[in-house]
């Protein structure tokens, strides 16, 4: 009996010992920086998995035996380790990952709200690096966005592939995001470019085409996502200081400043560090511009802070608050006095003096679970205060909240789901008092089948402005159609890797945009220009589709890609500012003739977009480049020659304030401590504008536009140049010359852009 008991006990003991789990733990770090990498996937025998936390740490339980561990994260070369574990083993295994250093492996987020290789994305996308922003001495984000292939910024309004014209400061078909959260103002629904934190950038992602399924209203034409940086394990500090001067224009009569050329000066700083489990980033920006246009000055200061606390006892949980504050004051005007000596002077000598304050505060909570699930809650409060001496004060409060659930499944499937809510309160002398709300829910699936990547997403969105709200009718031609209180939109795309560096993609996306408070309710006068409200203005919707090919290449150590895409967009009830008799002919100025936002009907924009980007060494020279050409054919499908030419300056069927051809190029060469860069921007002639600007009847109100367009009718091309020298490990000095040939250009009628200007920049990094 004793022998039997001993044998049974021994058998159970052996079974218990052999069944004990082993533990493999360690840290995944970047080879160059030594920083921990978040989100590294660790697979054991291609089955059991774990994900590294916010510090790069991971822990994996395995049975005794021999296992193959694979470590993978986008943008890095995967590595494999083989381990032979005995029962109860606890193994420390740290890994170092090396970047893949290929342009097609650049990691982006905006296409699917999760990290993807640029080569796998199913839509056209451009990426701007912080290095390019600094080297061009960017003083406001719109300056660098205007350098992106296929994109124009007209007087502060972004336009992707001709999808937007010019709407006098109200509404946007391009959604601006900062860290995936929308940052359009609650009143005008526009972008405040000088509010964006150029001093704290990870990268800027520009998504081309309708993106309402993931991002909602105002993403009808595309998305610009500003992604800020978080600290690495080594503290970093950056200080950039610059001073510049405007040169004399080629035409002497444009000079209004005598011998005292206007100056501009500024500085910005950035500091990031980890303090225990707290990540801290602070930044600031100062700017003083005397202005090349008479009386149009700008002075501002801005301060921002990002925080993230990584909970020590709850692996994968982090929380934080980000904030940005700006105070800006100065003067501006909309229209010139005339096209000759008054091109840089205000119409009627009237300068609007303003003082604007805006800030946002963004609390958030993020949790990464060991099984690859991510849950997050992001909120934002965005406040804008616009005051001036022309009785156009406006106060706007915007509240935003988003919950997102994301799961990465084995087999390459990613599911992203979420819900958002927005509430806005606007009190304005321009628009009166208005309230709006927006609720939405979205769902997207992204699946990778070896060489094929497919994406499908859908969204339902309900919008309400005062008493006007979203209405969607199923089968609208039928009397028994069901009315839904929300607008559904969807998108789908596919990307197939034909060869090692050849990707073919196709995409289709729907979009929807509700009018902003400014577009619907504005009533004001700017100089002699009357702007009227339109209470009947309705939402616009549309779709975009594209077929593209992305070809990677390598020349010596230079790696890049060539991207060619054919695109087509259509809009129903497109909103555009249009000249007409909208006021009372007996009571209002100029017989009630002015501008207002109208639904102009069915429109179509089609064309071809070509982009070339890359970085690497050719011999001993490091080369960086971002180039592109876009052809667009923006037309109205409801064009009527007899009626439309009464409001448009052209007899041709082309939408207002668009170009048929645009080209952009930026190239930089770095050799040892020297770097030299060149930029180019070309726009063909703007064929169609509002007839008000060129009609002889109104020439006494706004003189010179017709003669100016007749004189400058061959399009605009502008060249910039920069050169820098790295003094030592910390300091760099640069000379930046913009518009080096002093070309006279306009982005819209009665607005001449800056003459040649120079800036001396000193940057310190330690």
Cβ neighbors of 489 (< 8 A, separation 6 or more) are: 210, 212, 213, 458, 459, 461, 509, 510, 511, 512, 541
Q: Give percent of the chain with pLDDT exceeding 90.
A: 54
Count the neighbouring beta carbons within 10 Å of the beta carbon of residue 585: 10
Q: Which two tokens stand for residue 441?
A: 């829910």
Mean pLDDT (the chain, rounded): 88
**Cβ–Cβ under 8 Å, residues 22 and 91:** yes
How is residue 14 annotated by DSSP?
A: H
In a domain, 728, yes or no: yes
The pLDDT score that the predictor gives to residue 480 is 60
pLDDT digits (tens, 9 = 90+) for 353-376: 999 999 999 999 999 887 778 999
Lowest-confidence range among 44-48, 415-419, 521-525, 749-753? 44-48
**Does residue 493 sit in the same domain as residue 522?**
yes
**Does residue 126 sit in the same domain as residue 55?**
no
Is 680 in a helix, a strand, or coil? strand
**Does residue 82 sit in the same domain as residue 115?**
no
The pLDDT score that the predictor gives to residue 3 is 52
pLDDT greater than 90 at residue 78: no
pLDDT greater than 80 at residue 6: no
CA 188 from chain centre, in angstroms, equals 18
The pLDDT score that the predictor gives to residue 676 is 98
φ/ψ bin of 252: left (φ > 0), alpha (ψ from -120 to 50), beta (otherwise): alpha
The pLDDT score that the predictor gives to residue 271 is 96
Q: Are strands 90-92 and 22-30 parallel, antiparallel or unpaired?
A: parallel
Domain count, the chain: 2
pLDDT digits (tens, 9 = 90+) for 638-668: 998 888 887 888 888 999 999 999 999 999 9
- Single residue among 64, 97, 130 that ends a domain in this structure: 97
Identify the domain containing residue 60 by its residue range.
19-97
In a domain, 252, yes or no: yes
**Does residue 512 sit in the same domain as residue 372?**
yes
In a domain, 160, yes or no: yes
Between 36 and 6, name the one with better pLDDT. Answer: 36
**Cβ–Cβ under 8 Å, residues 231 and 318:** no
**Does residue 90 sit in the same domain as residue 181?**
no
**Does residue 93 sit in the same domain as residue 171?**
no
pLDDT digits (tens, 9 = 90+) for 423-467: 999 998 888 899 999 999 999 999 988 899 999 999 998 999 988
CATH number of the domain where residue 89 is located = 2.60.40.10
How many Å apart are CA 46 and CA 43, to the nearest integer? 5
- Single residue among 45, 75, 97 that ends a domain in this structure: 97
Between 390 and 548, name the one with better pLDDT. Answer: 548
CA angle 239, 241, 246 (to 5 degrees): 155
**Does residue 89 sit in the same domain as residue 116?**
no
pLDDT greater than 70 at residue 102: no
How many Å apart are CA 44 and CA 25, to the nearest integer? 13
pLDDT digits (tens, 9 = 90+) for 583-599: 888 888 878 888 889 99
What are the C-alpha distances in Å from 22 to residues 10, 46, 65, 234, 719? 21, 18, 9, 33, 63
The pLDDT score that the predictor gives to residue 556 is 84
In a domain, 11, yes or no: no
Kindly indicate the confidence band of residue 74, based on its pLDDT and cuts at 50, 70 and 90: low
The pLDDT score that the predictor gives to residue 478 is 56
Between 204 and 646, name the one with better pLDDT. Answer: 204
pLDDT greater than 90 at residue 679: yes
| Number of residues that make up the chain | 766
Taking residues 43-65, report their average pLDDT: 79
CA angle 391, 396, 402 (to 5 degrees): 165
Residue whose pair of structure tokens reads 């995944």 in the numeric block? 28
pLDDT greater than 90 at residue 295: yes
The pLDDT score that the predictor gives to residue 14 is 42
Type and span of the H or E element at 213: helix 212-215
Q: Give percent of the chain with pLDDT exceeding 70.
A: 92
pTM of the predicted model, to two decimals? Answer: 0.86
The pLDDT score that the predictor gives to residue 104 is 54
What are the C-alpha distances in Å from 256 to residues 251, 340, 595, 728? 11, 12, 31, 42
Kindly indicate the confidence band of residue 1, based on its pLDDT and cuts at 50, 70 and 90: very low
In a domain, 285, yes or no: yes
In a domain, 8, yes or no: no
Is 705 in a helix, a strand, or coil? helix
**Does residue 547 sit in the same domain as residue 411?**
yes
pLDDT greater than 90 at residue 518: no
Q: Which two tokens stand for residue 450?
A: 């070896």
pLDDT digits (tens, 9 = 90+) for 469-497: 877 766 655 556 667 778 899 999 999 99
The pLDDT score that the predictor gives to residue 13 is 41
Taking residues 632-641, report their average pLDDT: 93
Taking residues 569-595, report their average pLDDT: 87
**Does residue 410 sit in the same domain as residue 459?**
yes
φ/ψ bin of 406: left (φ > 0), alpha (ψ from -120 to 50), beta (otherwise): beta
User: Residue 748: which of 139, 164, 191 has the closest Cα?
Assistant: 164
Lowest-confidence range among 101-105, 276-280, 404-408, 677-681? 101-105
Lowest-confidence range among 12-16, 432-436, 745-749? 12-16
In a domain, 9, yes or no: no
Cα-based torsion angle of the residue sequence 374, 382, 517, 113 in order, rounded to the nearest 10 degrees: -20
**Does residue 343 sit in the same domain as residue 360?**
yes
The pLDDT score that the predictor gives to residue 421 is 96
Lowest-confidence range among 268-277, 407-416, 448-457? 407-416
The pLDDT score that the predictor gives to residue 390 is 82
CATH number of the domain where residue 369 is located = 2.40.170.20
pLDDT digits (tens, 9 = 90+) for 142-198: 999 999 999 999 888 899 999 888 876 677 888 899 998 999 999 888 889 999 999
How many Å apart are CA 334 and CA 722, to the nearest integer? 31
Q: Can you give 303-324 as a three-state secondary structure string?
A: EEEEEEEECCCCCCEEEEEEEE
Q: Which two tokens stand for residue 417?
A: 């789901």
User: Residue 451: which of 415, 416, 412 has the closest Cα?
Assistant: 412
In a domain, 3, yes or no: no
pLDDT greater than 90 at residue 297: yes
**Does residue 118 sit in the same domain as residue 160?**
yes
- Single residue among 59, 80, 97 that ends a domain in this structure: 97
pLDDT greater than 70 at residue 502: yes
pLDDT digits (tens, 9 = 90+) for 702-736: 889 999 999 998 899 999 999 999 999 999 999 99
pLDDT greater than 50 at residue 17: no
Taking residues 373-390, report their average pLDDT: 93
pLDDT greater than 50 at residue 5: no
Kindly indicate the confidence band of residue 55, based on its pLDDT and cuts at 50, 70 and 90: confident
**Does residue 241 sit in the same domain as residue 281?**
yes
**Cβ–Cβ under 8 Å, residues 147 and 650:** no
């Amino acid at each position: 009996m004793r022998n039997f008991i001993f044998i049974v006990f021994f058998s159970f003991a052996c079974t218990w010992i052999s069944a004990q789990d082993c533990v493999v733990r360690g840290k995944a770090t970047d080879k160059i920086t030594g920083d921990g990498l978040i989100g590294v996937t660790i697979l054991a025998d291609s089955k059991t998995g774990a994900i590294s936390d916010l510090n790069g740490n991971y822990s994996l339980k395995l049975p005794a035996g021999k296992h193959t561990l694979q470590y993978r994260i986008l943008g890095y070369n995967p590595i494999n380790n083989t381990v032979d574990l005995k029962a109860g083993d606890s193994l420390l295994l740290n890994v170092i990952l090396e970047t893949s250093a290929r342009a097609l492996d650049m990691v982006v987020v905006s296409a699917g709200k999760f990290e993807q290789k640029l080569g796998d994305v199913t839509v056209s996308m451009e990426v701007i690096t912080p290095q390019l922003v600094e080297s061009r001495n960017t003083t406001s984000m719109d300056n660098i966005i205007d350098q992106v292939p296929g994109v124009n910024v007209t007087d502060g309004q972004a336009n992707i592939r001709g999808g937007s014209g010019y709407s006098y400061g109200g509404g946007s078909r391009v959604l601006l995001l900062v860290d995936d959260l929308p940052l359009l103002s609650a009143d005008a629904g526009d972008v405040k470019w000088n509010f964006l934190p150029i001093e704290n950038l990870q990268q800027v992602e520009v998504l081309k085409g309708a993106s309402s399924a993931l991002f909602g209203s105002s993403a009808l034409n595309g998305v610009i996502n500003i992604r800020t940086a978080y600290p690495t394990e080594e503290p970093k500090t950056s200080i950039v200081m610059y001073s510049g001067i405007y040169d004399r224009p080629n035409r002497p009569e444009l000079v209004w400043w005598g011998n005292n050329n206007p100056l501009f000066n500024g500085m910005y700083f950035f500091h990031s560090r980890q303090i225990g489990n707290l990540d801290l980033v602070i930044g600031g920006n100062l700017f003083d511009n005397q202005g090349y246009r008479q009386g149009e000055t700008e002075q501002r200061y801005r301060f921002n802070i990002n925080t993230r606390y990584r909970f020590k006892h709850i692996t994968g949980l982090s929380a934080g608050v980000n904030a940005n504050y700006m105070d800006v004051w100065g003067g501006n005007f909309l229209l010139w006095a005339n096209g000759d000596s008054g091109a840089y002077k205000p119409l009627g000598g009237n300068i609007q003096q303003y003082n604007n304050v805006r800030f946002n505060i963004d609390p958030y909570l993020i949790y990464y679970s060991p099984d690859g699930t991510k849950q997050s809650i992001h909120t934002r409060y965005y406040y804008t205060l616009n005051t001036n001496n022309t009785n156009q004060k406006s106060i706007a409060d915007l509240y935003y909240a988003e919950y997102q659930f994301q799961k990465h499944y084995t087999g390459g499937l990613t599911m992203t789901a979420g819900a958002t809510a927005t509430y806005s309160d606007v009190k304005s002398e321009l628009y009166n008092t208005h309230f709006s709300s927006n609720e939405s829910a979205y769902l997207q699936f992204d699946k990778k089948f070896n060489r094929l990547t497919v994406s499908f997403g859908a969204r339902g969105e309900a919008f309400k402005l005062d008493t006007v709200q979203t209405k969607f009718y199923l089968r609208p031609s039928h009397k028994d159609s069901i009315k839904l209180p929300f607008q559904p939109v969807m998108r789908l795309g596919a990307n197939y890797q034909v060869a090692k560096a050849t990707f073919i993609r196709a995409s289709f996306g729907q979009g929807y945009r509700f009018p902003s408070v400014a577009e619907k309710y504005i009533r004001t006068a700017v100089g002699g220009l009357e702007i009227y409200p339109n209470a009947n203005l309705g939402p616009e919707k549309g779709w975009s589709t594209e077929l593209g090919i992305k070809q990677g290449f390598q020349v010596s150590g230079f790696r890049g890609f060539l991207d060619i895409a054919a695109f087509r967009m259509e809009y129903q009830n497109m909103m555009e500012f249009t000249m007409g008799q909208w006021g009372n002919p007996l009571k209002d100025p100029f017989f009630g003739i002015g501008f207002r936002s109208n639904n102009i009907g069915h429109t179509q924009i089609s064309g071809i977009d070509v982009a070339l980007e890359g970085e690497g060494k050719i011999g001993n020279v490091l080369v960086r480049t971002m180039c592109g050409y876009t052809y667009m054919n923006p037309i109205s499908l409801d064009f009527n020659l007899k009626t439309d030419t009464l409001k448009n300056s052209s007899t041709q069927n082309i939408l207002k304030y668009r170009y048929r051809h645009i080209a952009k190029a930026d190239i930089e060469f770095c050799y040892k401590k020297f770097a030299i860069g060149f930029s180019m921007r070309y726009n063909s002639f703007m064929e169609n504008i509002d007839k008000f600007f060129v009609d002889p009847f109104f020439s006494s109100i706004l003189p010179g536009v017709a003669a100016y367009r007749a004189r400058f009718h061959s399009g605009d091309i502008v060249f910039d140049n920069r050169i820098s020298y790295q003094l030592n490990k910390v300091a760099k000095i640069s000379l930046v010359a913009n518009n080096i040939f002093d070309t006279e250009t306009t982005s819209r009628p009665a607005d001449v852009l800056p003459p040649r200007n120079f800036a001396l920049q000193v940057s310190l990094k330690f």
